[in-house]
Amino acid sequence: MIILYTFISEANHQSLLDRYLPVFSQKSKQNVLRYRRWQDAQLCLLGKVLLQYGLKTYYNISDIETGVLPNKKPYLKGHSLHFNISHSKELVACAIAEYPLGIDVEFNDPKVSYHDFTFQMTDKELQEIQDAEDKMKKLFTYWTRKEAVIKAHGAGMMLPLDSFEIINNACSIEGQKFFTKEILIHEGYYSHIASSDQKIKDVMPLIKCIEEDILL
């Protein structure tokens, strides 16, 4: 498994658009340009760029075509590899593996309060956060772990966060088991990966920051 990440840059925004938009399909261009804020457009664009870079550099795959499953989860056509993209604040990350997976990153925002998410937690999870010495760390652990599972499952917003519990980094959804692993991508961000494949419990992913000069 590889996890590539980078940071958005307003100064490089137009240069990134000029270089990469002509490379992608019309649908991908529309997905990027539909955003009004440059931050959102660039996060969307860089997710695609990291996937392209990762497949070409680490898997020798240049001809890339993605599709969307009925549950709206993106997949790579014609290859047995899987990928997932997540972004928060100024960071965007792309994970690529030989098995289905989900990744979630969240910026450690001091303005966030766990009280804002109590309606998305089970009673047990809420109690664990309230009892924790570092409540914010516990909140972001809970949040990223569950979001990673939801993305690995592919149900998206149709699967409420409080509809399942993760115990010892494992949970079951509709009879299917999922496993989670905490990873450190960058200081100031929390992150988890998840998969229905047990390999993820022991994986040591290659995590690499792709600098702006490489992308440009």
Structural domains for the chain: 2-215 (3.90.470.20)
Cβ neighbours around 76 below 10 Å, total: 18
- Contact between 100 and 197 under an 8 Å Cβ cutoff? The reply is yes
**Alpha-carbon distance 67 to 79, whole Å?**
12
**Alpha-carbon distance 96 to 1, whole Å?**
6
Query: In a structure prediction context, what are the per-residue pLDDT tens digits for the chain, which is 216 residues long?
Result: 999 999 999 999 999 999 999 989 898 899 999 999 999 999 999 999 999 999 999 999 988 888 888 777 888 998 999 999 999 999 999 999 999 999 999 999 989 998 888 888 999 999 999 999 999 999 999 999 999 999 999 877 678 888 999 999 999 998 999 999 999 999 999 999 999 999 999 999 999 999 977 887
Name the pTM for this structure: 0.94
Residue 181 is predicted with a pLDDT of 97
